[in-house]
Structure 1
Amino acid sequence: MAEQEYDLIVVGSGAGALLGAIRAQEQGLKTLVVEKTDLFGGTSALSGGGIWIPVNYDQQNAGVKDDLETAFSYMKRCVRGMASDDRVLAYVETANKMAEYLRQIGIPYRAMARYADYYPHIEGSKPGGRTMDPMDFNAAKLGLDALETMRPGLPSTQIFGRMSMNAFEAHSMLSREFKSRFSLVGIMLKYFLDYPWRGKTRRDRRMTGGQALVAGLLTAANKAGVEMWRNAPFKELMQDASGRVTGAIVEKHGQRTEIKARRGVMLGAGGFERNQQMRDQYLNKPTKAEWTATPVGGNEGDAHRAGQTVGAQLHLMDWSWGVPTMDVPMEPAFRGIFVERSLPGCMVVNAKGQRFLDESGPYPEFQQAMLAEEAKGNGGVPAWIVFDASFRAQNPMGPLMPGSAVPDSKLHKNWLNNVYWKGETLDDLAAQIGVDAAGLKDSARRMTEYAKTGKDLDFDRGGNVFDRYYGDPRLKNPNLGPIEKGPFYAMRLWPGEIGTKGGLLTDREGRVLNTEGQIIEGLYCVGNNSASVMGPAYAGAGSTLGPAMTFAFRAVADLVGKPLPLENPHLLGKAV
């Protein structure tokens, strides 16, 4: 068995893993990153790239006021006791320091002044400013060779699957702001006029969202001299007689390689959502790996099981970062439906043709509502998103571009009755998708009436600042529109996710705890590989990437013997 030695081994190559590797290398630790698949970036590369950073450096520029105690109390209420107070406080105190570090290594972010926390009804929430979006990144800084080793983004985050747009532009377009038409023209012109770059690669030079974040991290990793292996599956952890983790066994070129780690191993290999056996063991039913929106070939729980082997404690294993998904032919993973469901003129129904949730609410709650509806026997899996001809003409939905730009006649022929269903009447549509026609017609009638009054009497859709972010501000209620003009359309939704929440339980330094609550020396864990500091909640957009990188930042401080102390210990145990 071949043998090598480093100071730190990092398993995985998502945002948390990469930031930890960069920081460690810059602090003088010889660091190795091992990635199971043939592409770097993990699920982070497919994400929106947002980070939830309370009291961040750009809030003042965005005209947002925030303070640490308010942010801590909000997050503490969100987690409902499923994450320790000191971990929550460590996150709130350190998140901005991590964001500042990102800026220092060439990945600046800006606060989204109008993107609200996910739970406006919880005291301490803010109507905007805590979520940050990465600034655009020039792919030329990474270089073409390195770009080919990075996981590409999702077609759903690009215009016509090719041209990048950032979160600000996407919001402007979906909410029909006047300036959006000029933004769209500018994006297209910039792309098509960039002949030198387009002659070398199909990928847009202008990288946004998760692509900007990961490209920036890979550029920084290369600059720092981090050694990185692809196609190198992690197999198991090594321990000495005292139980300290001393390295890892990795498969490289088909050979098991024993790698020693003088300081420790950091696990950042994502969740277990691609492992059907673990899904069956831990997650609520029904559950299928094919419904997930994360990369095929990764996130199979390898590092979870390796951690268990050395005595690690698991926590939150029955929770996931849920999102409704749909199957789109030729796309490698199911597509998450994040924002289109907020647009006015659509509704989601169960097998009885009845609405059962606020379609514009947070996506984890959306997924949980689908599972709950199924458990009640009402047929929530699959659910159906239904809209009429007016909505179809004006709005995107999943892979469907607005009908005014791409009419039905131009869609792939095999998408009909596969990706979307179409009926001249609601009775016809109901028969095709197997839902109760009377219930469907009544739901459409009620939605049409609510659009006129501006008040959803069933689920108060559009009744809070979070709902209204992705809506049409010209309407009485930005999220309500009539469903009355044929032909009518339906698309099938599954209870998918962008990752699982459960994993190895860690302390505030990212150190893994055993089943007795004691530290396993030499073992750290971040991201979806660890039990989420957010507990069952999703405090705001960026609640996955923000903690992943923040606890990697704290873990490296501990690795080099300079742990970050809590600055406000007086808040611990304080009632909220």
Structure 2
Amino acid sequence: MMEWNEEYDVVVVGSGAGGLVAAITAANQGLKTVIVEKADVYGGSSALSGGGVWVPNNHVSKNAGLQDSEEEALTYMQEVIEDTGPASTNERKVAYVKNGSKMVKFLEDLGMKWVPGIKYPDYYPEKPGGKIGRSLEAEIYDARELKDYEDKLRTGDIDPPIPIYSGKVASLAKAFTNSGDFFTVVGMFINGFKHKMKRSHAISIGAGLVGRLIKIALEQNVSIKLSTPLKDLIIENDKVIGIKVEKDGQPYYIKSKGVILAGGGFERNPELRKKYHNVGTDWTSASPDNTGDMLLIAQKHQLDTALLDDAWWGPATLDGNGNRKFLVHERSMPHSIIVDQTGERYFNESQSYTDAGHNILDRHEKNGQAIHSWMILESRHRNKFLFGDMLPRRTPKEVFESGYFIKADTLEDLAEKIQLDDKRLKATIDRFNGFVEKNIDEDFGRGNSAYDNYYGHPKYKNPNLGTIAKAPFYAIKIYPGDLGTKGGIVANEYGQAMCNNKPIEGLYATGNCSASVMGRVYPGPGSSIGPTTIFGYISANHIKETISQSVKKTSKVV
């Protein structure tokens, strides 16, 4: 007989956005709920993210003017998400679309304050059903309201200097190029100053989302156990009956009617990354605690898995201190290109980060010379736009001294410094500059999409194209970074974890420990937090329904 230390109706493993939404939903349904978290802080990779949630047909965006429908959302998802097997079935896509809007309203009724990203495009907005403005994020939040939990929120290496919205962050990069973006940024700073005047601890983007969710979870009487890593699932006769965790260095057993796995992937596990991705852990931006624990436990119990070879990829770079920088607007702005070690361009630099990451990996598999690649830019890029946290015209000496940025007065000298064939690099740039004169990238279509243009220069005929001709010139190493792995446990449309194509009763999986409904693409801003929260919501509701049906059956028997 198992000796249980505690008993709950629902155990949620992981305290990122998906785990929090699952726990809130279960507790609101009257189920006794606990979150167990491996780290000594809560929030996971969600707290380190941009905080966007991609939810088609939600009422907040529609109230802000977006015309949308379930039919258009499903058309778009079917168009851009290829059939990748059990993770991205039509049933899963339908469940995503039908429940996303319900989740948004449910959380709003409990106190969540949503802000629509009305200008933020889907990543393929020209495709059938594509839109601009489907993403949501949490309103800036005063973390002092969390009281004892304020200091337990996961934080990154660098916090934003002011509270910001991911739906407006594109304006930061080009604030010095036009009045519209300039005044948007001025408004952001004024808002930040108001928070400072109130002496509030204003948090935003991923931290703001998690902060608001943890406040709601506490109000719903969700218990939270930090420093409590999952060690095993207790499964009997194809039914989960509880979990084994470690508490204070000792085994600890929690009995439960339902278990929702909502933790991270295997971003920080060197062996698993090498096995499935043939890369290391140096370039990921995910939580340092995501070492694949749930994948290893799932494999031990022979649960179905899929998409283990994929991740939420994106071009990244390492500064002189080894800090990872996930590049989005930097590579999209004019006067820059990315080349491999042969000196040739090989993709649209302005496309979505996941597609760009796939391009790096595919190129390297073909020629072995794309990891690392080089971002080449010239003086106007550095004089007009942000790069990371560096203001225009403000490039500290240490970035050159550390070798992070390599600088030269001619392209020939730059090629020599980074060991590229100068003639091939010059030919690549001459060809690219010719495209700039025509306002069309004939090789890769850079600037053809509204998504590309979102991060471009609004006063250029093609917002993403600018010649590389004016010295000095710069080069920065580019690697295939990621926001997390996206393969893991296969779940059905109810979020149930599958084994031999059959659900394990009481066991559910969402987030990066599961195989994503998005397949191998990233349909829009918030396409990783969207699935983890929506399927967390679906899973908790399914547990409640299952328990209710079980009670009815028992009552009839009696």
CA shift for structure 1 position 152: 1.6
CA shift for structure 1 position 503: 0.8
444 and 137 in structure 1: CA distance in 2 versus 1, 3 angstrom threshold = same
What 5-or-longer segments of structure 1 have no aligned partner? 199-203, 565-576
How many angstroms apart in 2 are the aligned matches of 1:98 and 1:87?
Answer: 16
135 and 513 in structure 1: CA distance in 2 versus 1, 3 angstrom threshold = same
Q: Which residue of 1 aligns with 2:149?
A: 146
> Mapping of 1:387-402 within 5 angstroms?
387-402=377-392
Letter in structure 2 aligned against 1:268: A
CA shift for structure 1 position 221: 1.4
How many angstroms apart in 2 are the aligned matches of 1:396 and 1:73?
Answer: 36
Q: Which residue of 2 aligns with 1:11?
A: 13
- Which secondary structure does the structure 1 equivalent of 2:172 belong to? helix
> Mapping of 1:358-507 within 5 angstroms?
358-377=348-367, 379-403=369-393, 406=394, 408=395, 411=396, 413=398, 416-507=401-492
Q: Which residue of 2 aligns with 1:294?
A: 286
Contact 1:2 1:256 in 2 (8 A): no
503 and 485 in structure 1: CA distance in 2 versus 1, 3 angstrom threshold = same
> Mapping of 1:263-282 within 5 angstroms?
263-282=257-276
**Alpha carbon RMSD of aligned pairs, Å?**
2.2
- Which secondary structure does the structure 1 equivalent of 2:59 belong to? coil
CA shift for structure 1 position 170: 1.7
154 and 462 in structure 1: CA distance in 2 versus 1, 3 angstrom threshold = farther
CA shift for structure 1 position 196: 7.0
Summarize deviations over 1:133-153 as a string: whole Å, max 9, x none: 33222223223x312100124
Of the three residues 302, 309, 323, the one matched with 1:311 is 302
- Which secondary structure does the structure 2 equivalent of 1:36 belong to? coil
How many angstroms apart in 2 are the aligned matches of 1:191 and 1:58?
Answer: 24
Summarize deviations over 1:8-48 as a string: whole Å, max 9, x none: 11111110001111111121121111111121101101111
Residue 549, structure 1, aligned to residue 544, structure 2: no
63 and 196 in structure 1: CA distance in 2 versus 1, 3 angstrom threshold = closer
CA shift for structure 1 position 508: 0.9
Contact 1:328 1:399 in 2 (8 A): no
Q: Which residue of 1 aligns with 2:508?
A: 524
Deviation >6 Å, runs of 4+:
none
How many angstroms apart in 1 are the aligned matches of 2:392 and 2:401?
Answer: 16
Letter in structure 2 aligned against 1:173: L
How many angstroms apart in 2 are the aligned matches of 1:509 and 1:112?
Answer: 28
Of the three residues 303, 315, 320, the one matched with 1:324 is 315
Contact 2:340 2:346 in 1 (8 A): yes
CA shift for structure 1 position 193: 6.6
Residue 85, structure 1, aligned to residue 90, structure 2: yes
- Which secondary structure does the structure 2 equivalent of 1:290 belong to? coil
- Which secondary structure does the structure 1 equivalent of 2:545 belong to? coil
Contact 2:170 2:329 in 1 (8 A): no
CA shift for structure 1 position 413: 2.2
How many angstroms apart in 2 are the aligned matches of 1:142 and 1:154?
Answer: 21
How many angstroms apart in 2 are the aligned matches of 1:246 and 1:378?
Answer: 48
Contact 1:350 1:435 in 2 (8 A): no
> Mapping of 1:51-90 within 5 angstroms?
51-82=53-84, 83-90=88-95
Q: Which residue of 1 aligns with 2:554?
A: none
Q: Which residue of 2 aligns with 1:201?
A: none
Q: Which residue of 2 aligns with 1:231?
A: 227
Of the three residues 87, 95, 101, the one matched with 1:96 is 101
- Which secondary structure does the structure 2 equivalent of 1:58 belong to? helix
- Which secondary structure does the structure 1 equivalent of 2:348 belong to? coil
Residue 538, structure 1, aligned to residue 488, structure 2: no
TM-score, normalised with respect to structure 1: 0.89
How many angstroms apart in 2 are the aligned matches of 1:467 and 1:496?
Answer: 20
CA shift for structure 1 position 324: 1.0
499 and 141 in structure 1: CA distance in 2 versus 1, 3 angstrom threshold = same
Q: Which residue of 1 aligns with 2:552?
A: none
How many angstroms apart in 2 are the aligned matches of 1:103 and 1:459?
Answer: 42
Contact 1:45 1:152 in 2 (8 A): yes
303 and 412 in structure 1: CA distance in 2 versus 1, 3 angstrom threshold = farther
Kindly indicate which of the two structures has a greater share of residues assigned to helix. 2
67 and 169 in structure 1: CA distance in 2 versus 1, 3 angstrom threshold = closer
CA shift for structure 1 position 109: 2.2
How many residues are paired up? Answer: 541
Summarize deviations over 1:113-164 as a string: whole Å, max 9, x none: 33222124532222x0222233222223223x31210012463x72xxx222
- Which secondary structure does the structure 2 equivalent of 1:513 belong to? strand
Summarize deviations over 1:313-372 as a string: whole Å, max 9, x none: 0011111110111113456x6221122211111111111111111000011110111111
Letter in structure 2 aligned against 1:401: L
Of the three residues 355, 360, 365, the one matched with 2:345 is 355
Q: Which residue of 1 aligns with 2:542?
A: 558
How many angstroms apart in 2 are the aligned matches of 1:193 and 1:510?
Answer: 42
Summarize deviations over 1:377-428 as a string: whole Å, max 9, x none: 161111111111121111122343322xx2x3xx262653532111121111
Of the three residues 217, 231, 239, the one matched with 1:221 is 217
How many angstroms apart in 2 are the aligned matches of 1:325 and 1:229?
Answer: 34
Contact 2:173 2:387 in 1 (8 A): no
